[in-house]
Structure 1
Amino acid sequence: MKILIADDDQISRMITKAAVEQSGHDCIVAVDGDSAWQLFQEHSPEAVVTDLMMPGLNGLDLCRAIRAAGKDRYTYVILVTSHGSRKDVLAGMEAGADDYVTKPLDPFSLHIRLLAAQRITSLHADLARYRSALTEQARTDPLTKVHNRLKLSEDLGELHDGSHGYCLAMVDVDNFKSYNDIYGHQAGDAALVAIADTLASQVRATDAVYRFGGEEFLLLLREQSAATADLVMERVRSAVHDLTIEHSGDPDGVLTISAGIAASPGGHPAGTEHLLREADLALYAAKAAGRNRVAMADSFHAE
């Protein structure tokens, strides 16, 4: 572990540092509470061994600051007291400390507490990874592995200020019901996965692809004008066509997509619900015009 030692007494620092290093851990040393807080922010140590009484931030203040920081990684705090009074120990625990040792420091006692610290911080790290994985899973379509509508709602919510232009492109797989009828739902699922992968591969890392429902996808194209979004979606449409997924029930003989685009120019925010309706209407127009094409919402069409 990386351990921060905070103590204004040089001899105590040396004893604590030696005990920590003997236990096989790396040390960062601070001579007072203020420098300890600065080093904590810079290095994010797994554990802190801090004296109770120090210039600047005392041990209790340092504990409170660490807990208030709310970092993803849990920091195990061991408070060092001069006499281990119940009042000091209780104050330390209430301030956010996990354990305490008394001066003069017993290296064995510190070693035992660092073993506990290692177990606790490892457990918290595992829990943080699980939470992150669950958060990602809740926002990912299980079949296609692109984003789902929950993630779409969150991302659209971040665009409410209208300071940057963006486009929404509604995409639908043409004649997909007949594809499922002819080839079966397993083949239909495989086709959706291939199309989703193609959509994701044809846009920038700053853009996003969402499964909107069934055979519908939505693309969020950040900082794109109507004209540039049209170019992007023509490239996407062509890439899907080039997959040459056989479809005997389609006039083209392969699976194709249609897309409708709505644009929100920066500085003139349009509600996301309105843009979604505009993109859906444009998609309907693309379908009505013969499918396998891209249409632009008239009310947002670039001059």
Structure 2
Amino acid sequence: MKVLVADDDPGSLLVARAAVERSGHDCLTAADGDQAWALYLEHQPDVVVTDWMMPGLDGLALCRAIRAREQELYTYVVLLTSQGSRDDVLAGLEAGADDYVTKPLDPFVLHARLLVARRITTLHADLAHYRKVLSLQARTDPLTGLHNRLKLSKDLEQLHLRSQRYAEQYSVAMCDVDNFKSYNDIYGHQAGDLALRAVAAALRGSVRKSDVVYRYGGEEFLLVLPQQSAAGAKALMERALEAVRDLAIVHAGDTSGQLRLSAGISSFSPEHPVDAYALLGEADAALYAAKAAGRNRVELAR
């Protein structure tokens, strides 16, 4: 672990540093609270061992600053104090300290506190990792690996606000696999899942780095295309439909004999300043128009 020790008493600082290093940890030292805070911001130590009374930030103020600054990784704080009354101990814990050690410092006691600190910081690191994993899973479609509608809501809102602010255009394309119900009926749901994965990969390979593909639900996909005009979006989606045709997935339930895709596009612009959800509705209506016109095509919203 990386341990920061803050104490304005040179003798206590020397003893604490020796105890930390004998315990096998890296040690940073600060002679006052302000220096300790600067070192904390620079090095993000796992543990802070701080004196209560010292120039600059005192121990309580340093504890509060650390707790206010923390986001993901947890810093274990040990307060060094010669004031061992119950009120002082409670004040330190309420300020954010995890434990306290009375002075003069006993190296064995500090070693024991560091063993506890390792367990706690490891646990917090594991929890932070699992929170990230769960957050990613909550925003990812498990079948295709694409983003899902939960992620779409946040992304589309941010893009819309930015496009409004800077008077930029963007487009959305709603896509649907043609006659997919009959594909599942003929070939089974396992084959249907494989087909959806293949279509998702084809769509992902057809877009720019700035574009994002989402699984909207069932056999529907949504493409969000920043800074893309309606004409540019249509050209892109024509290439995407060609990529799906190039998969050559046999589909006896489609008149073409292969799996196909239809798409509807709507675009936001300063001349068409509808909100994001109205834009989705327009793209959906354009998709239905593409289906009604014979499928396997791209239609622009009117």
- 2:177 maps to 173
Distance (whole Å) between structure 2 residues aligned to residue 268 and residue 69 of structure 1: 43
CA distance in 1 between counterparts of 2:273 and 2:40 reads 42
Question: 1:275: Cα distance to partner?
Answer: 0.2
Q: CA deviation at 1:64?
A: 0.6
Residue ranges of structure 2 left out of the alignment (5+ in a row): none
Determine if the alignment matches structure 1 residue 253 to structure 2 residue 270. Answer: no
CA distance in 2 between counterparts of 1:22 and 1:132 reads 34
Q: What residue is the counterpart of 1:286 in the other structure? A: 290
Aligned in 2, Cα 1:106/1:201: closer, same or farther, shift over 3 Å?
A: farther
Change (3 A) 1:203 1:41: farther
CA distance in 2, matches of 1:44, 1:202: 42
Range 179-188 or range 113-122, more displaced: 179-188
Cα drift, residue 80 of structure 1: 0.7
Gaps of 5+ in 1: 299-303
Deviation at 1:52, TM superposition (A): 0.7
- State the TM-score, normalized to the length of structure 1: 0.92
Displacement of 1:71 in angstroms is 1.4
SS in 2 for 1:202: coil
Equivalent AA in structure 2 for residue 46 of structure 1: D
Could you give the per-residue CA deviations for residues 23-74 of structure 1, whole angstroms, max 9, x where no partner exists? 1111222222122222222222111111111211111011011111131111
Alignment partner for residue 231 of structure 2, among 214, 227, 237?
Answer: 227
In the alignment, is the contact (CA less than 8 A) between 1:51 and 1:79 conserved in 2? yes
Distance 2:94 2:81 in 1: 15
Q: Counterparts of 1:73 and 1:177 in 2: how far apart (Å)?
A: 47
Q: Distance in 2 between matches of 1:174 and 1:114?
A: 62
Corresponding pairs, count: 298
**2:37 paired residue number:** 37
Q: Which runs of 4+ in 1 moved over 6 A?
A: none
State the match for 1:113 in structure 2.
113
Match of 1:25 in 2: 25
Secondary structure at 2:4 match in 1: strand
Instruction: Check conservation: 2:159, 2:226, Cα contact below 8 A.
Output: no
Q: Contact between 1:160 and 1:269, CA under 8 Å: does it hold in 2?
A: no
Secondary structure at 2:68 match in 1: helix
- Aligned equivalents of 1:64, 1:268: Cα separation in 2: 50
Residue 84 of structure 1 is matched in structure 2 by 84
- Structure 1 residues 119 and 204, CA gap change in structure 2 (3 angstroms): farther
Alpha-carbon RMSD: 1.9
Q: Is the 8 A contact 1:19 1:107 kept in 2?
A: yes
Q: Which one is further off, 236-245 or 247-256?
A: 247-256
Once residues 197 and 179 of structure 2 are traced to their aligned partners in structure 1, the CA distance between those partners, rounded to angstroms, is 16
What residue in structure 2 maps to residue 301 of structure 1? Answer: none
Matched residue, 1:71: 71
- Separation (CA, whole Å) in 2 of partners of 1:222 and 1:10: 59
Seen in structure 2, the aligned counterparts of structure 1 residues 19 and 204 have a Cα distance that, compared at 3 Å, is farther
1:138-185 deviation digits (Å, cap 9, x = unpaired): 222222221222222222232342234322110100111221122112
What residue identity is the alignment partner of 1:108? F
Partner of 1:104: 104
Tell me, yes or no, if the aligned pair for 1:170 and 1:217 is still in contact at 8 Å.
yes
| Match of residue 274, structure 1, among 272, 275, 278 | 278
SS in 1 for 2:79: strand
CA distance in 1, matches of 2:22, 2:249: 64
**Aligned match for 2:221, one of 217, 223, 226:** 217
**Normalising by structure 2, what TM-score?**
0.92
Aligned to 1:159: 159
Conservation of the 8 A alpha-carbon contact between 1:7 and 1:32: yes
> What letter corresponds to residue 89 of structure 1 in structure 2?
V
Aligned-pair CA distance for 1:280 = 0.8
